[in-house]
Amino acid sequence: MKKYTIEEIKSQYLLNNYKWFSDINFVGIRSNSDLPNQFDDLFGVINNNKIEWFTCTTNPGVHWLKNLLNPKGSALLKPSQYVDTWRIGMHQGKYEAFCQVKPVTVYRDKNLNDKAEENQTLDTGLFGINIHRANEKSISTIIDKWSAGCQVLNNPADFKKILILAKESKKLNFTYTLLKEF
């Protein structure tokens, strides 16, 4: 997938009336190819007018699409800007990650196939839609159980780098903007 420039991201923010922050921002790009169980999306860190891209997923894995945690369906974060919605905390009480602290809107997919689809069923609330890593020691190639709706980076070294940048920013809460590939 194309790695966008700051100017291209800014134009999408402007088009959607999203707020541009002068310090650290997180941006996700959901791939149009949307391959089941593949880390085919991008996670960008915008820091002082520089952008760095990392591989991630913005979709739940096939395991959770077919084995629902919520009777309403699997969570698929709706593209939007979520201001100050994540804070560094413990993902599932196990390791540091960006934990959801404000409501988000998700699509609820309950057709039990292997593709996460945007549909008419929207749900807003605190669902534990975190931003975290997959495997602790190696690069993951398949999503499967790593995401039930979270935004998940497949490379632990990349995620560690993002955590360091976030801590250096001294911010308490972090904004994440999810866009579709354009």
* pLDDT tens, position by position, 122-138: 999 999 999 999 999 99
* pLDDT tens, position by position, 36-83: 999 999 999 999 889 999 999 999 999 999 999 999 999 999 999 999
Position 13 pLDDT exceeds 90: yes
Q: Is 21 helix (H, G, I), strand (E, B) or coil?
A: coil
Position 34 pLDDT exceeds 90: no
* pLDDT tens, position by position, 84-132: 999 999 999 999 999 999 999 999 999 999 999 999 999 999 999 999 9
The reported pLDDT for the residue numbered 49 is 84
The reported pLDDT for the residue numbered 22 is 81
The domain segmentation of the chain, as residue ranges, is 6-180
| Amino acid at residue number 177 | T
Are the CB atoms for 118 and 107 separated by under 8 Å? Answer: yes
C-alpha dist (Å) from residue 19 to 12, 23, 45, 92: 11, 12, 15, 30
Across the range 163-182, mean pLDDT stands at 97
Q: Are strands 81-91 and 95-100 parallel, antiparallel or unpaired?
A: antiparallel
Are the CB atoms for 178 and 57 separated by under 8 Å? Answer: no
The reported pLDDT for the residue numbered 109 is 97
The reported pLDDT for the residue numbered 163 is 98
Q: Is the pTM of this model over 0.95?
A: yes
